[in-house]
Amino acid sequence: MPTSDVDLFADDVLHDPYPALRHLREVAPAIRLTTFDAWVLPRYDHVRTALADHERFSSAHGVGYEDQFNAQMKGTVLASDPPDHTRLRALLSDKLAPKALAGLRTRITALADDLVADAVAKGDFDAVADLAAVFPVTVVAELVGLAEEARGPLLSFADAAFNTFGPFNARAEASIPFVSQMFGYLNTVMVPENLRPDGWAAAIHQAAERGEIEAASVVPLLSAYVIASMDTTINAIGNTILLFARHPQAYQEVRAEPALVGPAFEESLRLESPAQGFFRRTTQPVDIEGITIPADTRVLLSFASANRDERKWQRPEEFLVRRNPVDHVALGYGVHGCAGQGLARLEAQAVLGALVRRVSSIELAGEPVRKLNNVIRGIASLPVTVRTEGQ
Ligand code: HEM
């Protein structure tokens, strides 16, 4: 049985997980991690096959590592299997469908353009604090249906919640108070009298009133949407701006051909997958090329590794804005494939499109500060200097 003692959640690995992931891909297609009670699938084909196989790779125990944290997500879209999952996912599907998103496009594009214009006017700014972190919170809070004054703490919740998807290390421990605050906030602030009637949160409350879901599922379901929509998108945008700053030629290619904004964003999702991986639980023994993963075992599906698998991608470590890797697994795949992927693309392309239109060059104005999180790959601070045409 192939084993490894690498701790994929240790600080040094989170700073640069790619050497460890490359090593795991070389070792075997399925590896038991001895630091934790879990296995990992590091190669693309197996990750994608497992994502499509919810009968053997179940989400119903939760998609985090620790049972105690998984219990909090019980009854949500993320932590369920069909047929429950099908019913839960349907609750907000019309609000995230292409038709609903088409109606949001003008507003989101205008919002992004204003935000980028304000940042660019400064010349020097922090592309995370001033841009990437502001935008999804504004958009999502509006869609959830929250009044402006109630939006404040949303950001700290998502970061903390993703930490608790990993094993119980110092990062997860430090996040517990924020996660408790989040559930308190969802219980008290996100109640019908504070919510716009056409928002996501109201739709979930209404489904409970109609008896379509249990009252006890309202807060976990709300939490899943709030968590899933925040740090993922923020860091996807931050990661892409960092890639543009580090690859000026690629940025100029996109500027010369703005239709490349979409493909460049997909390439960034592949190369720096914002959600690095989620767990599944095997429901029976599973054979992976002659290696047997026992039943009732936690298995980490490493999207970050799959998306750099040299068996799948040519020059996997490079940022190639014309690659358009539409079959990456950064947004998952199968029944749990990201429910908000259309919105994520709309938000990111709005911000990146506005940058490309307004900014002729992006340079780092200092070392980016990495934000370490047990699941999310992202940046805490990204100081940049930008120039506009003619400057
Ligand atoms: C670039 C940004 C995003 C990334 C990288 C991302 C990534 C992912 C991934 C990898 C999954 C699969 C989880 C699994 O297989 O267990 C997922 C699921 C999900 N995402 Fe996203 N996501 C993003 C943005 C969003 C947004 C904006 C929303 C807003 C609604 C959202 C809502 C969800 C939900 C509700 C699920 C659970 C779907 C299910 O279990 O059926 N995500 N996301």
| pLDDT tens-digit series, residues 200-242 | 999 999 999 999 999 988 988 888 888 899 999 999 999 999 9
Give the nearest ligand 1 atom to 78 CA: 40
User: Please, are residues 30 and 1 in contact by the beta-carbon 8 Å criterion?
Assistant: no
State how far the Cα of 227 lies from the Cα of 220, in Å rounded to an integer. 10
Nearest residue by C-alpha to atom 21 in ligand 1: 338
User: Please, are residues 301 and 295 in contact by the beta-carbon 8 Å criterion?
Assistant: no
Ligand 1 center from residue 330 Cα (angstroms): 9
User: Please, are residues 342 and 101 in contact by the beta-carbon 8 Å criterion?
Assistant: yes
Ligand 1 center from residue 275 Cα (angstroms): 9
Q: How many CA atoms lie within 13 A of 196 on its CB side?
A: 13
With a Cβ cut-off of 6 Å, ligand 1 is lined by 59, 63, 77-78, 89, 96, 224-225, 228-229, 232-233, 236, 274-275, 278, 303, 330-332, 336, 338-340, 343-344
User: Please, are residues 180 and 156 in contact by the beta-carbon 8 Å criterion?
Assistant: no
Ligand 1 center from residue 198 Cα (angstroms): 21
Ligand 1 center from residue 332 Cα (angstroms): 7
Alpha helices (H) along the chain:
11-15, 18-27, 44-51, 67-72, 84-90, 98-122, 134-144, 154-163, 170-188, 200-209, 218-246, 248-256, 261-271, 303-306, 341-358
Give the nearest ligand 1 atom to 334 CA: 15
Average pLDDT over residues 193-199: 91
Ligand 1 center from residue 331 Cα (angstroms): 6
Ligand 1 center from residue 333 Cα (angstroms): 10
Does the pLDDT of residue 67 top 80, yes or no?
yes
Ligand 1 center from residue 318 Cα (angstroms): 25
Please provide the CATH number assigned to the domain covering 3-387: 1.10.630.10
User: Is 157 in a helix, a strand, or coil?
Assistant: helix
Burial 28-38 (b: 16+ CB within 10 A, else e): bbbbbbeebeb
User: Please, are residues 65 and 165 in contact by the beta-carbon 8 Å criterion?
Assistant: yes
**One-letter identity of residue 307:** N
pLDDT tens readout for residues 343-383: 999 999 999 999 999 999 999 999 999 999 999 999 999 99
Ligand 1 center from residue 338 Cα (angstroms): 4
User: Please, are residues 91 and 203 in contact by the beta-carbon 8 Å criterion?
Assistant: yes
Nearest residue by C-alpha to atom 4 in ligand 1: 232
Does the pLDDT of residue 390 top 80, yes or no?
no
Nearest residue by C-alpha to atom 27 in ligand 1: 229
Does the pLDDT of residue 149 top 80, yes or no?
no
Cα dihedral: 253, 234, 343, 256 (round 10): -10
**One-letter identity of residue 118:** D
pLDDT tens readout for residues 239-298: 999 999 999 999 999 999 999 999 999 999 999 999 999 999 999 999 999 999 999 999
213: left (phi over 0), alpha (psi -120 to 50) or beta: beta
pLDDT tens readout for residues 114-139: 999 999 999 999 999 999 998 898 89
Nearest residue by C-alpha to atom 43 in ligand 1: 338
Nearest residue by C-alpha to atom 41 in ligand 1: 336
State how far the Cα of 24 lies from the Cα of 275, in Å rounded to an integer. 18
User: How much of the chain exceeds pLDDT 70, in percent?
Assistant: 100
Ligand 1 center from residue 339 Cα (angstroms): 5
**One-letter identity of residue 26:** E
Give the nearest ligand 1 atom to 348 CA: 1
Instruction: Say how far residue 214 (Cα) sits from the centre of its chain.
Output: 27
Q: What is the pLDDT of residue 235?
A: 96
In 3D space, the residue among 269, 227, 182 whose CA is nearest the CA of residue 77 turns out to be 227
Residues 6+ apart with CB under 8 A from 84: 60
Instruction: Say how far residue 106 (Cα) sits from the centre of its chain.
Output: 24
Ligand 1 center from residue 390 Cα (angstroms): 40
Nearest residue by C-alpha to atom 20 in ligand 1: 338
Give the nearest ligand 1 atom to 301 CA: 15
